[in-house]
Amino acid sequence: MPGTAEEPRAPVYVDGALKVTLKGDTIVADFLRILDNYVEQRFGGSANGSAERHVAIGVDQTDVAVPKNHA
């Protein structure tokens, strides 16, 4: 997590290799563009076509409640 004076950075790995480190105010838009391109190249379809795309941004594991019956 960046400190008060630090610019947010988001390393993006594709198939286990670092592709790019995103920074600045366009991190989310840049990531979604990379995701759309990856889906198009890998699966021949668009992530934002007829299927819905759900992206969780800024979710920490401690923010997610796990039901007691799931380990």
In the structure, what pLDDT confidence band is assigned to residue 29 with cuts at 50, 70 and 90? very high
Whether residue 20 is predicted with pLDDT greater than 90 in this model: the reply is yes
- How confident is the model over 32-57, as pLDDT tens digits? 999 999 988 888 865 555 445 555 55
Is pTM, for the whole model, over 0.85?
A: no
Give pLDDT, residue 42: 86
Neighbours of 60 (CB within 10 A): 7
| C-alpha 23, offset from chain centre | 13
Structure tokens at 68: 């007691």
How far apart CA 49 and CA 60 sit, in angstroms, is 28
